[in-house]
Structure 1
Amino acid sequence: MQPVLNVEDVKCVEVALTREGVSVSELMHRAGYAAAQEVLELGDVDNVVVLVGLGNNGGDGWVAAEVLHERGVNVTVASPIEPDALSGDLARQVAQSALRAGVSTLVGPARDELEELLATADVVLDCMLGTGFHGEVRPPFDIWIECVNASPARVVAVDVPSGLSAQTGHSGSACVVADLTVTMLALKPGLLADDGRDVCGAIVVAPLAEQTERLVVEADPVAWRTDLADYLGALPERTAAVDKFSRGSVLVVGGSRRYPGAAVMAARAAARMGAGYVTLATPVSAAPVAQAHLLEIPVVPLAEDADGTIASEAREVVLKLARRVSAVLVGPGLRVSGGTCAVVSALLAADVPLVIDADGLNCLARLTNGALPDFPEITRRNAPLVLTPHRGELGRLVGRPTNPPASLVEQLDAARQIVWADGGSELVVVTKGTATGCVSVEQAVLPKPGPAALATAGSGDVLAGMTASALAQRAGADVDLTLLSAYVCEIHAYAGSLAAERVGSRAVMATDVIDVIGMASDAVEEHVTYPEPPAGE
């Protein structure tokens, strides 16, 4: 797994490196060299334009320019001010060194001058604004960024694309769209979510020092980005000695007269994910619709209230069904009422692996008056519990209904409020957004996100059904619940990609994702079991 550090923690690692004998000057030179090497590895590079800012990120650019110049590349550095006027001693020194080496410089170019220069470039190296950026981009860099994005040259960003917050993933009014981002020391959360997903391109981490890995871990990463090999322990054992019951059984409790389809999709997804037996329990008025769509899945009609939601008297039937299965999912299409809250509460008290999604989470927010961290006894149980909120649902769970988490970092912080209040190892919060984090009391892991095609109604219901299925198939096994949840997210993401290939990226519906879950699961499992060899082997 790759560690992900908050920007402030990266600064702490830099300080720790200096204490271990790696000076700030050495770090800058290594960063510049790493950026130059990535530019050279792109191939067919004759002309490079380096856009530098006023701080250490600009210093990295001056170092990279000198390295590229020494390799025979035609390099021009565009600087907003004369290099001798730079206020930072180190940045000024490396700029002067580059000038002495013969690097060409264009100071304070007008827009037409910069556009003319960029038109001749094979690669643009973006060293304008570093990880300390937040807010709005100021002149001249707003104009420079517009020119870069209009240029046909390949763009390599150093540490973070200028205009993007490396912490939040939000961009200002202008932001470089890079083909490659060379980030120093460790991944930052803003590179992996929200606008970062659109503007970073491929991401390469340059550690800069042999001590970096140890110091980054000691800095307590905010999360860990998973590699496929990390999921090996989450895979079910392959065997032909199975029947439909030994493959795990799932009960889906959901649906309503108004929203019968969500529970149907969740049940189908659970079956496609490999559960041997799936049952859907839904209000009596929704049952005929469900039965028409679920030929292989039994549908149990439940007593309902006048509004077509599950009635509280259905609790005993639901609990009786729950005792017979390996895992339960509650929530898709459920709606929030006194009866549905009673059913969710009863399932929380049951000794069965449980996934709570959608309106099941909204019922949980109602049961705790929007302050789930203040009621840890509700989620503290002996059997696994997975909550799968999107940002809005997560906000309602932690008392932020009108101000839900707006970034990956805020998602992780809110999820940690819940799991740390609970304090047990049987709870995972799968916080969904432009990037998804699987958060437990021990760690937060970030599965690789899926395509934008998954941003469609019902996609979350599909993920919830898949998660319940995975829990059922691994019931009783010694498995890391956080990694198991992340593994399901990886399959869901790949299924989204397969669905987009079939029907087009803007045409994907949740049912399209369901249809390819099996192929996605097989493909991901194959790559986990037989990882690709390192390059050159």
Structure 2
Amino acid sequence: MQPVLNIDDVKRVEVALTREGVSVSELMHRAGLAAAQEVLELGEMDNVVVLAGMGNNGGDGWVAAEALRAQGANVTVVSPVEPDALPGDLPRQVAQSAVRAGASVLVGPSRDELDDLLATADVALDCMLGTGFHGEVRAPFDIWIECLNASTARVVSVDVPSGLSAQTGLAAEACVVADMTVTMLALKPGLLTDDGRDVCGAIVVAPLAEQTDRLVVDEDPVAWRTDLADYLEALLPRTSAVDKFSRGSVLVVGGSRRYPGAAIMAALAAARMGAGYVTLATPASAAAVAQAHLLEIPVVPLPEDADGTLTADARDVVCKLAERSSAVLVGPGLRVSGGTCAVVSALLGMDVPLVVDADGLNCLARLTNGALPQYPEIIRRSAPLVITPHRGELARLVGRPAGGVSSLSDQLDAARDIVWADGGSELVVVGKGTATCCVSVERAVLPKPGPAALATAGSGDVLAGMMASAIAQRSEADVDPALLAAYVCEVHAYAGTLAAERRGSRAVMASDIIDVVGVASDAVDAHVAYPDGPAGE
């Protein structure tokens, strides 16, 4: 796994490195050399333009310029001021050294001058604004960014694309769109989510010092980004000695007269993910619709009110079904009422693995008056509990206003408020967004995100069904719950990719994802078990 650090933690790692004898000057030189090396590995890059800012990020660019000049490249550094006028001692020194080494300098160019220069460039190094950037981009860098994005040069950003917040992943109106980002010391949250997914390109982490890995871990990373090999412990054993009962049974409790489809899709996804036996319990008026779509899945009609929503009388039936199940999913299409809250509350009190999604989460928010961290006893249990809120649901659970969870950093903070209040090892919060975090009391895991095609109604219901299925099949296994949740998200993401290949990036529907869940699961498992091909080939 790759550690992810908040910006403030990265600064502390830099300070720790200086205490261990790696000076700020040495860090700047190593950063510049790392960026130059990535440019050289791109191939024939004879003409290089470096867009340098006023601070240390610009200093990295001046170091890279000198290194590339030493390798025979024609290098021009674009600077807002003369090298001798740079305000910082260290950036000024490395700029003067690059000039002595033969790098050309273009100071304060007009838009036309910069356009003409970039038209001759094979590659451009973006060293304008570093990880401390927030807010809006000021002149002249807003104009430089426009010129750079309009050019045909390949763009390598140093540490973070200029205009992107490395913490939140939100971009200013003017933001560099890079082909590659060479980030220093560790990954940052903003590179992995929201606008960062569109503007960073390929991400390379440059550790800069042999002590870095240790110091990064000492800072207690805010999250860990997974590699496929990390999921090895989450895989099911390869065996033919199975039957439908040994493959786990899933109970899906959901649906309503108004929203029957969500529970149907969740039940289908649970079956496609490999559960041997799936049952759907749904209000009586939705049962006939469900039975027409679920030939292989038993449908149990439940007591309902005049609106076609579960009543509290459904609680006893649901609990009896849950007792015979390996895992339960509650929430898709359920709606929020006194009856549905009673059912959710009863399931939370049972000793059965439970996934709570969609309206199940809204019932949970209602039961806790939008302050779940203040009522940890409601979710404290001995059996596994996975809750799968998107950003809006997560905000409701922790009492934040609408839009109060707007970034991956916010997702991590809100999820930790919940898991730390509970304090148990059985709880996982799967915070869904443009990047998904799977947070337990032990750690936060970031699976690689899926395509934009997953942004479609019902996609979350599919994920919830898959989650319950995976838990049911591993009821006897000792698997890190956050890692297992991340594995399911990874399979879901790959299913989205397969569905987009079949249907087109904007035409995917939730049913298309369900159709390829099994293929996606097999493919991910094969890559985890045999990363270099079957039998290591």
1:408 match = 408
3-state SS of 2:495 partner: helix
**Superposition pairs for residues 143-158 of structure 1, below 5 Å?**
143-158=143-158
How many Å apart are 1:237 and its aligned residue? 1.2
Residue 145 of structure 2 aligns to which amino acid in structure 1? I
3-state SS of 2:279 partner: strand
How many Å apart are 1:100 and its aligned residue? 0.5
**Superposition pairs for residues 429-444 of structure 1, below 5 Å?**
429-444=429-444
1:193 match = 193
- What is the alpha-carbon distance in structure 2 between the residues aligned to residue 42 and residue 512 of structure 1? 38
Partner deviation per Cα, 1:348-371 (whole Å, 9 max, x = no partner)? 001100000000000000000000
1:29 match = 29
Residue 387 of structure 1 aligns to which amino acid in structure 2? I
How many Å apart are 1:476 and its aligned residue? 2.2
Matched, 1:224 2:224: yes
Equivalent pairs counted in the alignment come to: 534
- What is the alpha-carbon distance in structure 2 between the residues aligned to residue 310 and residue 71 of structure 1? 72
How many Å apart are 1:415 and its aligned residue? 0.3
2:421 match = 421
**Superposition pairs for residues 352-501 of structure 1, below 5 Å?**
352-501=352-501
3-state SS of 2:285 partner: coil
Question: Contact 1:125 / 1:156 at 8 angstroms: preserved in 2?
Answer: yes
**Regions of 4+ moved over 2 Å:** 401-404
- What is the alpha-carbon distance in structure 1 between the residues aligned to residue 271 and residue 385 of structure 2? 20
1:211 match = 211
Matched, 1:93 2:120: no
2:56 match = 56
- What is the alpha-carbon distance in structure 1 between the residues aligned to residue 220 and residue 324 of structure 2? 42
Residue 351 of structure 1 aligns to which amino acid in structure 2? D
How many Å apart are 1:211 and its aligned residue? 0.2
**Superposition pairs for residues 59-458 of structure 1, below 5 Å?**
59-458=59-458
Residue 505 of structure 1 aligns to which amino acid in structure 2? S
Over the residues paired in the alignment, what is the CA RMSD in angstroms? 0.8
Residue 17 of structure 2 aligns to which amino acid in structure 1? L
- What is the alpha-carbon distance in structure 2 between the residues aligned to residue 429 and residue 246 of structure 1? 27
Residue 256 of structure 2 aligns to which amino acid in structure 1? S
2:10 match = 10
- What is the alpha-carbon distance in structure 2 between the residues aligned to residue 332 and residue 401 of structure 1? 23
How many Å apart are 1:402 and its aligned residue? 2.2
2:503 match = 503
- What is the alpha-carbon distance in structure 2 between the residues aligned to residue 113 and residue 159 of structure 1? 26
- What is the alpha-carbon distance in structure 2 between the residues aligned to residue 404 and residue 297 of structure 1? 39
Query: Unmatched 5+ residue regions in structure 2?
Result: none
Partner deviation per Cα, 1:73-116 (whole Å, 9 max, x = no partner)? 11100001111111100000000000001100000000000000
- What is the alpha-carbon distance in structure 2 between the residues aligned to residue 426 and residue 207 of structure 1? 34
- Identical-pair percentage: 83
How many Å apart are 1:401 and its aligned residue? 3.7
How many Å apart are 1:229 and its aligned residue? 0.8
Q: Which moved more, 1:475-484 or 1:3-12?
A: 475-484
Residue 31 of structure 2 aligns to which amino acid in structure 1? A
3-state SS of 1:134 partner: coil
Residue 284 of structure 1 aligns to which amino acid in structure 2? A
- What is the alpha-carbon distance in structure 2 between the residues aligned to residue 427 and residue 401 of structure 1? 24
- What is the alpha-carbon distance in structure 1 between the residues aligned to residue 436 and residue 145 of structure 2? 29
- What is the alpha-carbon distance in structure 2 between the residues aligned to residue 404 and residue 463 of structure 1? 24
Residue 113 of structure 1 aligns to which amino acid in structure 2? E
Residue 202 of structure 2 aligns to which amino acid in structure 1? A
Residue 439 of structure 1 aligns to which amino acid in structure 2? V
- What is the alpha-carbon distance in structure 2 between the residues aligned to residue 263 and residue 50 of structure 1? 54
Query: Unmatched 5+ residue regions in structure 1?
Result: none
Residue 98 of structure 1 aligns to which amino acid in structure 2? A
2:515 match = 515
- What is the alpha-carbon distance in structure 2 between the residues aligned to residue 357 and residue 202 of structure 1? 33
Question: Contact 1:394 / 1:404 at 8 angstroms: preserved in 2?
Answer: no
How many Å apart are 1:477 and its aligned residue? 1.4
- What is the alpha-carbon distance in structure 2 between the residues aligned to residue 331 and residue 43 of structure 1? 53
Residue 440 of structure 1 aligns to which amino acid in structure 2? S
Partner deviation per Cα, 1:268-304 (whole Å, 9 max, x = no partner)? 0000000000000000000111011101100000000
Residue 152 of structure 2 aligns to which amino acid in structure 1? P
